[in-house]
Structures are given as structure tokens and as C-alpha cells.
Amino acid sequence: MHLNAHLDFDLIALETDDTVTVMLELEAPQAPHDTSDAAARPAHTTVVVLDRSGSMGGERLDSARRALVDLVARLDDQDQFGLVTFDSQAQVVVPAGPVAAIGREQLRQLIATVVPGGSTDLSAGYLRGLQEARRVAGPTGATLLLLSDGHANSGENDPVRLRGVAQNHADRQITTSTIGIGVGYDAAILAELAAGGLGNHSFAQGPDEAIAAVAGEVEGLLSKVVQAATLMVDPTADVVTMSLLNDLPISITADGVMVELGDFYAGESRRILLAFQVPALTSLGLAQIASIALTYVELPALEEHTIKVPVSINVVPGDVAAGRVPEPEVTREKLLIEAQESKRAAEQALRHGDYEEAQQQLQRVRSRFHDDDMAASASLAEEARWIDKTLKMLQRDSVQLGSDPRSTVGPDEDYLVRRMRSSVTRTSRGYRSRTQGGEVRRDGTDG
């Protein structure tokens, strides 16, 4: 792993309160060149939790079954696979175990037995899937992949509580990824499960997109080179407060603030933003404001490593600090994260039927995207295209609502809510090269 720290300002004025933003760049190693021997990587454990409620009948369930057959075909004999389904209750279709021991033909036959049922008790399926994952997870942990197309209408349905469950299991190396199918799934629950579980949340509008989303999860699973990655941020006594600008699980420990990063895929890069409030310092010269340690387990060796970097600023006279210029790359990253807050606000406005407020939230942040910044940052350019497309859809819905006084919901409202939530979940966590998560397109692009 590589870890670099960049400050928006590397100097501050003497005897002046200030806030310094630190951008951490993390890059995972590439996959080993020699992959001919399956023993070159440890066995992976995958437990799929599949919604089989009545709304999943027909093409959706057919596509899900095909996707699971394809998933199993990509696994090695040593890998472990399990399948839990749920409607009004959970059922273990495939008790998790080694692919070779169960048998590939047996797995295909068991997957084919899944048929539509009744209502949607998502929590029952999720909790039962976690039990299976815990039962068989080895030193590399497990990945739980949940697919659903509907709202939870029985069982636990509090997104915050379910996120806490996912986070507790992520601490035990059980990652949760979710795929929402169609425009009727519970976006809040599926997004929170993925955020707490350090996995991906994908929005698959149709059956083909669902198949692509499952395939993407398999690609990530098989290219995993790092697990259990954490950042330990230890501010010095000079720092008043520290805040994490990304949406990642944190906990306060005796050694500092621990930020959970989870797994990294081969060659993956991420950016994490930290803000430090520094009070007026009374001495000129270099001052350390924090130390940061990245700890992770490297695969396939299962060896733990720690990288440490100090974060320091230069305290200078006020007239010298007056001419300082912010680091452009850090400023652009801050804008990208601030755009996610605007998208969250737009989503909430849309849920309340306020199309005007949703548009204004996106227009305000879009006006801050300048041509030179977008030319220098592919991420900002992609975000601008996403916002522009979303604004066009919002404007179209507004026109249609205005022409039909009997309607209170735009034709694209459900789609737009899920488009926004899946994009925020992916971008706010600092992913730069990861292709999993977000809205899944047939051409492999994100929205």
C-alpha cells in the first residue's frame, strides 16, 4: 500500500485560528502476476441473500438465478458459497461451504429451486445470512451480497439500526454489499447496509443491470489484495477538533480516531479528507498537528503492515501567510465531497415532492464547477456530467407535473431518488478507481 498526505495549506499565520484540510491518497498494490495456482490466494467466502418476495417474480428472479450460476462458475473449488432467500421469512437454500464439497451441479440445481413467495422481511434474510457467514468465515472473512427489489414491510426496517449491525460485522471482516433492483427497493436500508458494512451499493434498474452488478461484485471479490484496512488518526494537543469529511465508520480509541476502510481491490485508489481545527499557535516554525497510521492485512500472505506519516504545518508571520494559495487538488476534492451533501439535500427535497428545491441544491453546487478544475480532474468532470443529466430529468418532471394538476409525483421520482442515493454512497467514501457501486448501466458506465 502507498499512503501520501496533501494539505490545502501547508502554512498558517502566527497567533491565528485556522482550519487545515488534509487529503490522504491511498493506493493498493497490483494483483500478483502469477495467478496460475489457485493456492496463490486464500479461499473466499461469499454468502448471497436473495429477495424472493412476490415482486421478484418473472424476469427479475430469472436474472438473479442466472447471475448466481455465473457467480458460482467464477469461484474456485476452495472458495465457500452459501445462499439464503427471504420473503416473509428466511430460508437457507445452500448452507455455506466449499464449492467442491457441495458440487457445482448441486449448486446449480439448488439455485434453480428458488421461486417467488410473499412479503418482504429483509432483516430476517440479512441476519440469517450473517449467521451463515460467521459460521464458515476463515481468516479472510466473508462477503455478504444482498439483492432486493422491494421495501421491507415486516421485521426490522430502521436503516440506522441495520447499519449498526452491518458495521459490527464489518469489524469481524464480514463485508456487506447490496444491489437494489428496479425503482421500488428500499434505497435507505440498502445504502446504509453497504455503508456500515464497508461494501458497495449498486442501483440496477433492470434485470440486465442486476446481472452486471453481480458480475462486478465477483470481479472485486476475486481481485481483493488488502483487507481490514484502517486509519488511526492521532491529533496532537495543538488541535481543537478533527472531522472526517467522508462517509466512513469511525470510532474513538485511546490511540486516536480509527477510520474503517475495509477491503481494497488490486490497484485501487482512494482519497480521504480530514479537517483539523488548529487554534492560534504562538511559536514560529514547523508544528506537527497529527500522526496518521494505515494498518492493513496483505493478501494472499495474510501479513499485517503499518505505514505511518506525520502531518505538519509551518507557522509563519501573518504577512507571509496572507499570500498563501490553496493546493488545487485538495480544493477540488473538497468540492467533490461537498457536492455529495448537495445531492443528499436534493434527494430529501425530492422525497417531499419539492422539485424546485432539489434543482436549486444541484444548481448551486454545479455553479462552483469551473472549466479548469474539470479539465484537471476526471472525477469532477464525471460529477458535472452526472449533475447535468440529473437536472435535465428534474426539469422534465417539473414540466410534466405543472401540466397535470392531478399529479403530485413526477414520472422519474423513484428513479431519481435511487440514482442520487447510490451515487452519494459510492462517491462520499473516497472511491476513485473502483467501478462497483452506483447506478449500473448496460454499457458498464455510471449514470
Q: pLDDT (tens digit, 9 = 90+) per residue, 409-437?
A: 566 899 999 999 999 999 999 999 999 99
Q: Lowest mean pLDDT of 173-177, 221-225, 401-405, name the range.
A: 401-405
pLDDT for res 447? 54
pLDDT for res 408? 53
Task: Give the mean pLDDT of 38-54.
Answer: 87
The residue with cell 478544475 is 373
Q: What is the pLDDT of residues 281-339, one digit of tens each?
A: 999 999 999 999 999 999 999 999 999 999 999 999 999 999 899 999 999 999 999 99
Q: What is the pLDDT of residues 89-147, one digit of tens each?
A: 999 999 999 999 999 999 999 999 999 998 889 999 999 999 999 999 989 999 999 99
pLDDT for res 228? 96
Instruction: Please give the Cα distance from 367 to 360 (Å, whole number).
Output: 10
Instruction: Please give the Cα distance from 426 to 160 (Å, whole number).
Output: 18
Neighbours of 352 (CB within 10 A): 9
What's the whole-model pTM score? 0.93
